[in-house]
Amino acid sequence: MMRLPSFRYRAPRTVREAAEMLADTSADTMLVAGGTDLLPNMKRRQQVPATLIGLRNVAELRGISNGEGLTVGAAVTLAALLRNTDVRAGYTALWQAAAQVATPPLRNMGTIGGNLCLDTRCNYYDQNYEWRKAIDFCMKKDGAICWVAPSSSRCLAVSSADTVPALLALGATITLTSADGIRQIPVASLYRNDGIDYLTRAPEEIVTAVHLPRLDGWRSAYWKLRRRGAFDFPVLGVAAAARLTADGLVESARIVLGAIASSPLDAQSAAGGLVGQRLTDDVIARAADDAAQPARPMDNTDFTLHWRKRVIRDFVNYALREIRGDDMRDVRRRVARQMLM
């Protein structure tokens, strides 16, 4: 059986207490909420924190509140998020993304904050200690080289969180709390295109909440590419959101791609091209081509990279057609193995 390494465990009851603990302790301290990302990494010795600060007793992180939009505590589980009727009704892309994360029991455990901070993934990195030793490790942990692209000076591990492209497309912001205070930033600002240093969060900061703006008149969708109907991380995620006028003109739009770089990729020019247009087949096809163009997937996930690159436009197409109002249930059933409606 795979065993966790030894660690010291601390269980604060409030955010303030957690922030103070974090400020106090050394660099090899990590926060743990659902544990579904960190604990496998610890068992594989990819992450070996000396101290864990467990957030499960921090009640204030588990609320969902209405206001100007929706505020979701970082320790709200994905399952709880899915049960929330406001999320389901008003933030379709987020709901569809959360519904496709991992598996039902893992969604009962994993939290929205954990998904936001999900470690970047790579087939050369997400392996047991023994396997990584056999390739002499990689620069993300214990080694010097990136085996995906040996000439690369940076790590190319992949941003693989389903909810992140959805939150970006929905214009969400997050709250970061430390012993020194709090700050609120757009979700996009949390990420950096670097497989190792993929979060801009300071070591003493805790992601404490996610805020979704009011989105009157917006429609959104999330399409995920993976081999199976469950378990698998995305090897491509497409989130799209658009506000349409009553007569079907696009007033505003966002298209965000996940799982093709170390950070989510905001396809601004593709989305910008939709503004002022109707979502005709041609307009959608052009936007899909534009969105796919800058993507440079690497050979470190499931499926061949050429094929992943090639189908980006199809998945953008699916998302935009769903926003247009097409009945995509059959395609959903074949691609996602679920209806997600």
C-alpha 22/C-alpha 17 separation (Å) is 9
Please say which residue, 150 or 181, places its beta carbon nearer to another protein.
150
Per-residue burial over 301-319, b if 16 or more Cβ lie within 10 Å, else e, is: beeebeebbebbbbbbbbb
Please say which residue, 3 or 181, places its beta carbon nearer to another protein.
3
Q: Are 157 and 121 in contact (CB under 8 A)?
A: yes
Please say which residue, 131 or 202, places its beta carbon nearer to another protein.
131
Please say which residue, 67 or 150, places its beta carbon nearer to another protein.
150
What is the closest distance, in whole angstroms, from the C-beta atom of residue 267 to another protein in the complex? 19
213, 116, 99, 106 alpha-carbon torsion, rounded to 10°: -140
Q: Are 195 and 154 in contact (CB under 8 A)?
A: yes
Burial class (CB in 10 A: 0-12, 13-18, 19+), 157: buried
Please say which residue, 218 or 233, places its beta carbon nearer to another protein.
233
C-alpha 52/C-alpha 30 separation (Å) is 5
What is the closest distance, in whole angstroms, from the C-beta atom of residue 189 to another protein in the complex? 29
What is the closest distance, in whole angstroms, from the C-beta atom of residue 7 to another protein in the complex? 7
Name the site residues for another protein (rule: CB under 8 A): 1-7, 9, 11, 32, 34-36, 39-40, 43-44, 52, 54, 56, 79, 102-106, 108-109, 123, 126-128, 130-131, 133-136, 145, 147, 150, 227-233, 302-304, 306-307, 310-311, 314, 333-335, 337-339
Tokens of 123: 């087939």
What is the closest distance, in whole angstroms, from the C-beta atom of residue 215 to another protein in the complex? 27
Q: Which are the contacts of 243, defined by CB distance < 8 A and separation ≥ 6?
A: 215, 217, 218, 219, 250, 251, 252, 253
Please say which residue, 246 or 334, places its beta carbon nearer to another protein.
334
What is the closest distance, in whole angstroms, from the C-beta atom of residue 104 to another protein in the complex? 5
Please say which residue, 19 or 106, places its beta carbon nearer to another protein.
106
Residue 303 identity (one-letter amino acid)? F
What is the closest distance, in whole angstroms, from the C-beta atom of residue 3 to another protein in the complex? 4
Please say which residue, 176 or 311, places its beta carbon nearer to another protein.
311
Tokens of 252: 């505003």
C-alpha 95/C-alpha 85 separation (Å) is 10
What is the closest distance, in whole angstroms, from the C-beta atom of residue 191 to another protein in the complex? 23
Please say which residue, 210 or 312, places its beta carbon nearer to another protein.
312
What is the closest distance, in whole angstroms, from the C-beta atom of residue 268 to another protein in the complex? 25
Per-residue burial over 238-263, b if 16 or more Cβ lie within 10 Å, else e, is: bbbbbbbeeeeebeebbbbbbbbbbb
The Cα angle at residue 68 between residues 82 and 341, in degrees rounded to 5: 30
What is the closest distance, in whole angstroms, from the C-beta atom of residue 284 to another protein in the complex? 13
Distance spanning both ends of the chain, measured CA to CA: 39
Strands (E), the chain: 8-10, 29-32, 51-54, 64-67, 69-73, 173-178, 181-186, 206-212, 218-225, 236-244, 250-258, 265-266
